[in-house]
Amino acid sequence: MRWGDVIALPEPGTGAEPRLEARVLMYPDKSRFFVSYPSGKEEILSAQQFVALVLELKRSHRFTFDRKRS
């Protein structure tokens, strides 16, 4: 099940569009997250690793996480 997207935010004033950085799928048992990047790279993260990744991305103010409700 698709769970959310990591979105790269454009530099202010450039007029560029936000772009998809990664797609996130959550395993049914909610213990792991499968992250796939447009480049083809894929990784499996524990719940703790995923939370740390999202916090690091948000702290940079260059990325956001868009949670899909489905």
Domain annotation covers residue 53: yes
Domain annotation covers residue 30: no
Domain annotation covers residue 28: no
Number of separate domains in the chain: 1
Domain annotation covers residue 48: yes
- Separation of alpha carbons 6 and 54, rounded Å: 8
The angle subtended at Cα 23 by Cα 52 and Cα 14, nearest 5°, is 90
pLDDT in tens, the chain (70 residues): 668 999 999 988 888 999 999 999 999 888 999 999 999 999 999 999 999 988 998 898 889 888 876 5
pLDDT at residue 49, as a whole number: 96
pTM, to two decimals: 0.78
Q: Which residues span the domain enclosing 47?
A: 2-22+36-67
pLDDT at residue 70, as a whole number: 53
